[in-house]
Amino acid sequence: MNETVPSVVTVSSLDHKSAPRRIAVRRRPAAPSGETRPGVIWMGGFMSDMQSGKALAIDRWAAEHGRGFVRFDYSGHGESSGDFVDGTIGQWLDDALAVVRSSTDGPQIIVGSSMGAWIAMLVARALAVAGESDRLAGAVLIAPAVDFTETLMWDRLTPDIREQIERDGVWYRPSPYGETPYPITRALIEEGRRHLLLGSNVEAHCPVHILQGMRDSDVPWQHALTLVEHLAADPVSITLVRDGDHRLSRDEDLVRLIAAIEQIA
């Protein structure tokens, strides 16, 4: 499999006062045999990047089947510019929309992992408002952490930690996946409230398949079912993996992921 070469998409800051963000993108063009079929775009999770095992598994599949595939890093992640601590949901949404509009051709299947599933649903809403729903062929959501800054984070924090975030502007949450803690900022929490989806109907404007581990301590499987209930207007299926964790990156999980993409494609 040939490695894709990174390119850059430039995104202006929300306030137009900070320097433009340079978003790293890796694009695998479709082979002639795959040009009429939907492409795939990867949207990663919180503090993850486009070199994750799941993104690379999709890239291998795309290369083998001549499918177009795009993966990218949000600002402050991976190969993109910026500091992670400065990021917000709205900023990362703008990054994703810029990549969709500049680096994809024809309808796309969005594959969103954890936070990336929330970003994917926000992208779907923004495209619908702009009259661009024809860009969407489907969505595969892995452990969808929709509204996570509020429901899965703020609501679970102790009063002492909430006070620290409000006082100091940041709290460093220990990570179960490595030695580097996650900076949880006041800006992340407060700006995230502008993008909450649960509590009213969520419209993807395309078929949705959810993959959810039942041993996921970050995104409980009940949270995924709540999202299903809110996706009342779209065809939705969900696969619950009884022994699956949050990452769903074992070989058998990757097989399920590719099968979900192929089912929609």
Both tokens of residue 33?
A: 């045999």
CA–CA dist 256, 251 (Å, integer)? 9
Q: Annotated catalytic residue: which of 59, 73, 114, 209?
A: 114
Residue type, 247: R
Tell me the three state secondary structure of residue 20.
Answer: coil
Chain centre distance of CA 193: 17
Active-site residue, 246 included? yes
Active-site residue, 65 included? no
Both tokens of residue 211?
A: 């993959």
Strands 69-72 and 208-213: unpaired
CA–CA dist 52, 247 (Å, integer)? 10
Q: Annotated catalytic residue: which of 77, 195, 230, 246?
A: 246
Q: What are the two backbone dihedrals, phi and then psi, of residue 136, each rounded to the nearest 5 degrees?
A: -105, 125
Residue type, 70: V
Active-site residue, 75 included? no
Q: Identify the DSSP state of 221.
A: H
CA–CA dist 97, 120 (Å, integer)? 9
Q: Annotated catalytic residue: which of 216, 218, 234, 253?
A: 216
Question: What would the 3-class secondary structure string for 82-124 be?
Answer: CCHHHCCHHHHHHHHHHHHHHHCCCCEEEEEECHHHHHHHHHH
What kind and span of H or E run contains 252? helix 251-264
CA–CA dist 121, 149 (Å, integer)? 15
Known catalytic residues are: 114, 216, 246
